[in-house]
Structure 1
Amino acid sequence: MDNDEPLEPEIKDEPETEPAARNSDETFYCEAEASVAVEKEKPGGESSETDLEIEDTEKLFTTGQRELYLEACKLVGVVPVSYFIRNMEESYVNLNHHGLGPSGTKAIAIALVSNTSVVTLELADNCIMEEGTLSLVQMLQENYYLQDLNISNNDLGLKGASTISEFLQRNTSSLLNLQLSGNNFKDESAELFCQAFSANYRIKTLDLSHNEFSDKGGEHLGQMLALNIGLQSLDLSWNQFHTRGAVALCNGLRANVTLQKLDLSMNGFGNEGATALGEVLRLNNSLVYIDVSSNDISNEGVIKISKGLEFNESLKVLKLFLNPVSMDGATLLLLSIKRNPKSKMEEIDISNVLVSEQFVKILDGVCAIHPQLDVTYKAVQGFSAKKELLLWTNPMKLIQSYADQHQITVIDFFKSLNPNGRMMMSVGDFRKAMIQQDKVPMNPYQVRELIKKLAEKTGMVNFSFLKTEKR
């Protein structure tokens, strides 16, 4: 519950009327409508899953939104959340950790039925339970503006999964991104999600991390991946997939043509799962990001992944952090990129691997062919402090020095790297341009530091904030 002082509803009490009996499994009874709005009549032949239609919607889109929420809180018996009142006309509303419970969630859902402002709603860790989940999905059938919903860490379990699955199979909402992390979903829930996402093509981003899916759940989700034609990003990290589940997931990926980003970190793929993943990489042309960090993959598994990379033409990011991979395995990864002239690889994360100067020389040779490539490793054996200092000379100071010498701004320098002269470019294109330009020579380490300073979460480098730099 919000710690703000309770707010008394600013609506005069009206005579209470006894509502007609309703089926709570099929309808979402908005008691607030008794004093705020009159129920619409649907045209003949048109049915509705809820009774949340508002007659005077134009009024509720403006001044009526606050009053509707306050009256809903009063009638379901909860204290209004002042943060929600202040922000219900904003596009982003963060109600994480507010202790709403099912009743507080229902009041929020009532207010959002006719809301046209909120696009992203955060409701993580609110103990919303099955009743709150039902309120939300019924609201989503009426609200065509909400696109991002986070209901992670609400311990929804099998009943919550069932409610969500039934809703998703209708394909009736505008929801695009759904976060369901940490909800105690087990294999039975995976079967329900398989049914939902084998039919749903609207959801683009799905987070099912930090749940309890095991190998049987992997089989269900693998079947879902083979049939789904909408998902672009899927997070299955921190589950319990091992060999059988890993192979099943990879079998589904072989048939999938839309998924671009997949996080499978903190599972137990092992080398057999890595073998199946290598086959996916050989055939798949849609994946651009794969994270298999901490999956007990050794050099044996890396050999199989490397063979797939020799043929892959789409993958840009491969994360193998916290796997028992040695420098020999890391070298195999580099050589697989070198053998593939069509590789688009931009980032390989093996940041727990200690490498040698010979590895660095091989990397330099690969980067000559693929200048967009960056490999993150732990350190280089035998490098002296003097060498380390040379590698990490502040790149911005070097650029500023060049700009001062040539009487230009720093932003002029960066704009010269972009063929269209714009202030933004992809990380891969920026890295390639920085490595290839000869005005301010830099090594890969300095370019990496530059990207950390300039890159955004969207995978784009943005140097527009440098506009104020002096000539």
Structure 2
Amino acid sequence: MATRAYIGTARDVHFDDKVTEHHISDLNGKEREEYLTPIVRDPIMEMKYKEAIKGFPNRRGKVDNTKVIARKNRTSSATQRTEHTDSYTGVSSSGFRNRLDTFTDMEEEKKEETISQATYLSTCKHLNVEPTPIILKSLNEDSLIIKYHPVGNLSLKAACVALVANTMVATVDLTHADIGTTGAVYLGDVLRENLYILDLIIAENNVGSEGIKCICEALQENRALKYLNVSGNKLTEVDAGAIRDMLLENTTLKGLNASHNEFTDIGGVLLAEGIEGNDSILDIDLSWNHLRQKGARRIIESLMVNTTIARADLSFNGFHDAAVGIGELMAVTTTLTYLDLTSNRITDVDMAHFLKGFERNETLETLLIGKNPYTAPFCKQLLQIVCNNPKNKIKELDLDSQSVEIEFLDLIHTTRKERQLYINHGTVLKADLQKEATDDFSSSDPMMVLMECIAQRQLKLVDIFQSLDRDDSKTITRTELREGLQSLNIPMSGRAIDKLMKKLDVDDNGEVDFAEFMEAQREYLKKKQEKEEAGAAGVQQDETKMKEKVAKLIKMRRLAKMAKVLDSSTEKTKKKLSIDAFKMSSRRSNMNESS
């Protein structure tokens, strides 16, 4: 027995949980009436259920004739009704008659109608409200979705009456449907009776404190719902208390989205109490609130105590105040695989605490930590930990717009040799890169740089000449020399190239042929041998340093080229892989697996 206020005043209504629509279809008329007629004290409710029974197919698959007759009478009475306007659609009675004609046509085609649909139609008639086709259709499907379209109180009331005994609908999505507090109260009543709804989304509806209280109180009893989304409802500290009480009592909820609300310090403390005492939640989203200081610290402490949460979205808050705790969380967590700390004012000092714990982490697979004021060196340290720790399980690292140093690109290349890793970052700091990549040894011999590059890459002189001779004219111009050296990532600036061209072009005709190229190499090797035979002090040491510097500059030029490619494809990459889409798909897949 339960007291509800679906129609008129409150009354007692009894539903037999053992009876389903499939059972009902196998019963004859009298048996169906016995099972489906509720124990009521109101003649209107009794009449409504009897009317629904008349139109339900019997076990031989035939439809009662009374169903069609009743529907024709309903259509006839509608034509005589005076003009009126519904609060939801604003449609006059002429539009109402058209819709009823459509329903009559459906009956004439003998399309079967479930008990929920019949209940919805009869309730609409009693409430004098126009039935909504999308609601009627959805009552026989697995999802009832009415997003970004206002639903009037009477329309929602009729839908909720039908949902009470519905066994088909698993997802109810009323995002931005303007249901308000009244609608939330109706849905709370549904959750007390319905054991088949798994996902409830009432985001951006301004349900108010009374509405969220009703939903949470119902979920203290409900043992079916898996996912609840109450984001964007301007919930405050008082409402955080209702959510806390729900989390402490509910043992089946897997996902909670309370983002885009107005929880502050006290709200964070209350929510943390619920998180600590809950042992079923896998995914929690508290992004875009005002959680900071004590509230933020208590949330992090609760995540350390909780033993089930695998995904936590804390983005766009003030969790820099809990940096020490976040570091400790990274070190001790055994369940957390996804953490979003985007835009939390995390500085270099806070990042140092985070990295201290991150070195010991063995569970995290996805980390989003962009839009924070820490500097580029900490990006490098973060990736070094991922690269050097074989027990670290990071697969996705999103730094968003954080700038990185050139060495960061080299670390990416090294890390991807060992594991699959998606990394999103901002621009590459190119000041040092350009300085290093254009160092042309102006105080040294550019011929030595060229020959050393050829030696380190183990290339043949003829291959180098052919790659520089782009027009296959058997000679190399200054333009071809410059473009060829750039394509080979040989580090020389314009001034060094001029000096090299003058050295190679013996006959001073503006072009270098292969004979001149070979002669320059022989002269270089001859001078090098003479120095070695003379045994001049420091020659070997200088040569070693020169080789190291050339190797470094070749590497810098390669990374510079890589940075240019990354910069040009950043936008395309972000469009190709949407982080928000990844969050949502992963969240739902995790909850489905757990279910």
- Measure the CA separation in 2 of the matches of 1:273 and 1:41: 56
Give the secondary structure class of the aligned counterpart of 1:141: helix
| Match of residue 413 from structure 1 | none
| Match of residue 231 from structure 1 | 281
**CA deviation profile, 1:290-319 (whole Å, cap 9, x unmatched):** 111111111211111111211111111111
**CA deviation profile, 1:365-417 (whole Å, cap 9, x unmatched):** 33344x12222101323489x9xx99xxxxxxxxxxxxxxxxxxxxxxxxxxx
Instruction: After TM superposition, list the pairs within 5 Å mapping 1:149-164 onto structure 2.
Output: 149-164=200-215
- Measure the CA separation in 2 of the matches of 1:451 and 1:344: 25
- Structure 2 residue aligned with 1:122, among 173, 176, 195? 173
Tell me which stretches of 4 or more aligned residues in structure 1 moved more than 6 Å.
26-29, 53-58, 442-448, 453-456
| Match of residue 68 from structure 1 | 119
Classify 1:351/1:20 alpha carbon distance in 2 versus 1 (closer, same or farther; 3 Å).
closer
Instruction: After TM superposition, list the pairs within 5 Å mapping 1:326-341 onto structure 2.
Output: 326-341=375-390
Residue identity in the other structure for 1:377: H
Residue identity in the other structure for 2:303: L
| Match of residue 302 from structure 1 | 351
Residue identity in the other structure for 1:340: N
Structure 1 contact 28–138 (Cα < 8 Å) conserved: no
Classify 1:454/1:246 alpha carbon distance in 2 versus 1 (closer, same or farther; 3 Å).
closer
Give the secondary structure class of the aligned counterpart of 1:352: coil
- Measure the CA separation in 1 of the matches of 2:211 and 2:120: 24
Structure 2 contact 184–212 (Cα < 8 Å) conserved: no
Residue identity in the other structure for 1:246: A
After TM superposition, give the deviation of residue 139 of structure 1 in Å.
Answer: 1.7
Q: Which runs of 5+ in 1 are unaligned?
A: 1-18, 30-35, 43-49, 391-441, 461-471
- Measure the CA separation in 2 of the matches of 1:143 and 1:288: 33
Structure 1 contact 317–346 (Cα < 8 Å) conserved: yes
**CA deviation profile, 1:414-463 (whole Å, cap 9, x unmatched):** xxxxxxxxxxxxxxxxxxxxxxxxxxxx9997999599479984359xxx
Which shifted more, 56-65 or 273-282? Answer: 56-65
Residue identity in the other structure for 2:38: K
Structure 2 contact 380–404 (Cα < 8 Å) conserved: no
Classify 1:459/1:130 alpha carbon distance in 2 versus 1 (closer, same or farther; 3 Å).
closer
**CA deviation profile, 1:222-246 (whole Å, cap 9, x unmatched):** 1111111011111111110112111
Structure 2 contact 192–219 (Cα < 8 Å) conserved: no
Instruction: After TM superposition, list the pairs within 5 Å mapping 1:207-246 onto structure 2.
Output: 207-246=257-296
Instruction: After TM superposition, list the pairs within 5 Å mapping 1:290-439 onto structure 2.
Output: 290-369=339-418, 371-382=419-430
- Measure the CA separation in 2 of the matches of 1:123 and 1:247: 33
- Measure the CA separation in 1 of the matches of 2:396 and 2:364: 9
| Match of residue 287 from structure 1 | 336
Q: Which runs of 5+ in 2 are unaligned?
A: 1-5, 16-31, 58-111, 435-482, 489-561, 588-595
Give the secondary structure class of the aligned counterpart of 2:256: strand
Instruction: After TM superposition, list the pairs within 5 Å mapping 1:33-112 onto structure 2.
Output: 39-41=37-39, 59=56, 62-112=113-163
Give the secondary structure class of the aligned counterpart of 1:290: strand
Residue identity in the other structure for 2:10: N
Structure ID, larger Rg: 2
Give the secondary structure class of the aligned counterpart of 2:336: coil
Classify 1:21/1:354 alpha carbon distance in 2 versus 1 (closer, same or farther; 3 Å).
closer
1:131 aligns with 2:129: no
Structure 1 contact 226–252 (Cα < 8 Å) conserved: yes
- Over aligned residue pairs, what C-alpha RMSD do you find? 3.8
- Structure 2 residue aligned with 1:198, among 240, 245, 248? 248
Structure (1/2) with the larger helix percentage? 2
Alignment length, in residue pairs? 371
Q: Which has the higher relative contact order, 1 or 2, with Cα contacts under 8 A spaced 6 or more apart? A: 1
**CA deviation profile, 1:53-80 (whole Å, cap 9, x unmatched):** 9688893994443332122123234322
Structure 2 contact 191–219 (Cα < 8 Å) conserved: no
